[in-house]
Amino acid sequence: MNKFVLITFVLISTALMGSSFSVGKIGLQYVSPLLMVGLRFVLAGLLMAVYVGLTKKPLPKELKSWIKIFLIGLFQTAGVFAAIFISLRTISAGQSAILTFMNPLLVVIFGSLVLGMKFRFVQWLGVISGFAGVLIALGGHFEFQFDTILGFGGAVSWATATLLVNRWGKDLNTWVLSAYQMLFGGAVLLMCSVLFEEMQLIVNPTSIFVILWLAIMASVVQFTMWFFVLQSGNPAKVSSFLFLAPFFGVLTGWLLLHEEIGLTLIIGGAFIFSGIFLVNWTTKRMCEEAVFIDKEK
């Protein structure tokens, strides 16, 4: 993928991810959390499934491929967003975002321990810098309680999905993967809503706009771009850019919820961009080593 297109996709997708926190916070006044994300992803999945059918995208022929898509949806859609939106009702948006976007650090840890992936010291330093930037940008306020465990579970779920997409995604059509992982994950969320929460749905222009924004812009557009990016590069490097999402989340909070932007955002932003640079920094020597290894293979 062209580098300019890659960067554009990263910026748009992370900006849309960031918008989900503020827009979702507004929506929780009218819709219960699991119902809202369930409706969001079932609607998004159906829209993309229709597009997949109309454009005759190649559907998987083997059951194991559908199982892979379901598992990705279980982690990427159901696990992540159930944790985010439930935690948004009980802890602050900042705390939820901090926990969720520990994902890049977890990708490096899981990739190293489980998949045997090799990461340089500078990459570890980069993701730690990025995480510190998120913490600073969101004010540094953090309290440990049960719901922080839930938020951390969302980060674990996202990191797992990131590695699964990177490993399995190359064998699946991106549009098919995006559509059906959202549809499967959304169906799981709706089932959980029926079974485990007191369902609430107040239909008005605001709640309709929130669900449509989350379904179309923050799901269809965002996930499609993000999966293209994930399939095009190293999962740890790509995931480092997720530190931009809470940064954009603060900006949308300022625009939509009139939250203040202070010195912490500026300092945190500097740490975030430093972390992205360190994780993606490749020296001439590293390039030569990569070429040599590739030739040996």
Residue with tokens 């202070």: 262
Q: Where would I find the H helices in the chain?
A: 3-27, 33-54, 63-73, 80-90, 93-100, 103-113, 121-137, 146-168, 174-196, 205-212, 222-230, 235-240, 244-257, 263-280, 284-296
Give the count of domains, the chain. Answer: 1
Letter string b/e over residues 65-89, b meaning 16 or more CB atoms within 10 A of that residue's CB: bbebbbbbbbbbbbbbbbbbbbbbe
52: its two tokens:
């997949």
Going residue by residue through the chain, which has 297 residues, state the pLDDT in tens, using 9 for 90 and above: 577 788 888 889 889 988 888 898 899 999 999 999 999 999 999 999 999 999 999 999 899 999 999 999 999 999 999 998 888 877 766 667 777 777 777 777 777 777 677 777 887 888 788 778 777 766 655 555 677 778 788 888 988 888 888 788 778 888 898 899 999 999 999 999 999 999 999 999 999 999 999 999 998 888 778 777 777 766 656 766 777 887 787 788 888 877 777 777 678 778 877 877 777 665 444 333 433 333 333
pLDDT for 280 equals 65
pTM equals 0.78
pLDDT for 88 equals 81
Q: Which of 84, 76, 60, 27 lies closest to 185, judged by CA?
A: 76
pLDDT for 211 equals 94
